[in-house]
Amino acid sequence: MPAAKIEIEPITVTLTGPLHVGAGYARGLIDRAVVRDGRGHVYIPGSSLKGKAREACERLARRYGLTVCEPPYPTGMCGTQGGPCIVCRIFGTPGGRQDETFELYWDNAYLTPQWVQAGTGLGLTHARTQVSMSQRRGVGREGLLFTDEFAAKGLTFQTRISGHLNLTAVLDEPERYYELILLLGGLRLVETLGGSTSRGAGQCDIKLPPDVVVTSSQYGTETISVDVTVDRVSLLDLYVEERAEGGV
């Protein structure tokens, strides 16, 4: 099937715990500040959601017996020879995609208007001083206190995923596509974002829109139910069979 246009919006991310997505620098008494946009508001980079979604899709694909490559090291991922695995068909590969006719864009997730109006970005974060732990000894390391900044629990953000993706119809029928089943199923499995998850941070709830709009030259514009698509996750079993028969 030729590359189809995909629109998944709005995607709402609600923090059910404090979130730390580091900016890579210190600010004042804070050793590791969170990322902020040009207006000073905290946000979630699209790359952060994309990375977590990819991990979830890899787990889901393996659960149904699909062969996927081994990120994050490029030497363990799909290369220039042969076709990409189903996860790389969605997310791409190091050094460029296998098929330049498609590209999905993961927008940054910005605060919803009600939270922007509630106050400045500084009022929506808090600092937490912690101690670096020795995993071998299970105790704190002497003299290694540090302070992280966190986005506050309860904040909501919105984002979107759009672009073009090569879709493979299940048994050549419309409205059922292996890549879309895996992508939406993986997104539903994402429960944490950012860093410090081992310290109880990063918990989130991701709410997908009711429908996804898919437009292709073969089937025209289709409005596909997200719930129905995710409920079809067991169809991923057929991907293995069709690939073995040369249909995928």
Determine the pLDDT at residue 248: 57
CB atoms within 10 A of CB 75: 7
* Per-residue model confidence as pLDDT tens digits over 21-35: 877 655 655 667 878
What is the distance between the alpha carbons of residues 114 and 134, in angstroms, rounded to a whole number?
41
Residue type for position 2? P
Contact at 8 Å (CB) between 17 and 194?
A: no
Nearest to 185 by CA among 90, 56, 67: 56
Domain ranges (residues) in the chain: 3-23+34-124+154-244
Give, for all 248 residues of the chain, the pLDDT tens digit: 568 999 999 999 999 999 888 776 556 556 678 788 888 889 999 999 999 999 999 999 999 999 888 877 777 778 655 678 899 889 987 655 545 557 899 999 999 998 988 765 457 887 767 655 445 544 444 546 667 788 889 999 999 999 999 999 998 888 899 999 999 999 999 999 987 676 677 899 999 999 999 998 888 999 999 999 999 999 999 987 776 665 55
Residue 13: left (phi > 0), alpha (psi -120 to 50), or beta?
A: beta
Query: Which DSSP letter does residue 53 get?
Result: H
* Per-residue model confidence as pLDDT tens digits over 198-213: 667 789 999 999 999 9
DSSP string, the chain: --EEEEEEEEEEEEESS-BB-B-SS-BTTBSBPBPB-TTS-BEE-HHHHHHHHHHHHHHHHHHTT------SSGGGS--SSSPPPHHHHHH--TTS-S-TT-EEEEPPEEE-HHHHHH--GGGGEEEEEEEEEETTTTEEEEEEEEEEEEEPTT-EEEEEEEEEEE--BGGG-TT-BHHHHHHHHHHHH--B-SB-GGGT--BEEEE--SEEEEEETTTEEEEEEHHHHHHTGGGHHHHHHHHHTT--
DSSP string, 14-29: EESS-BB-B-SS-BTT
Token code pair at residue 173: 């029928």
Contact at 8 Å (CB) between 57 and 91?
A: yes
Determine the pLDDT at residue 62: 94
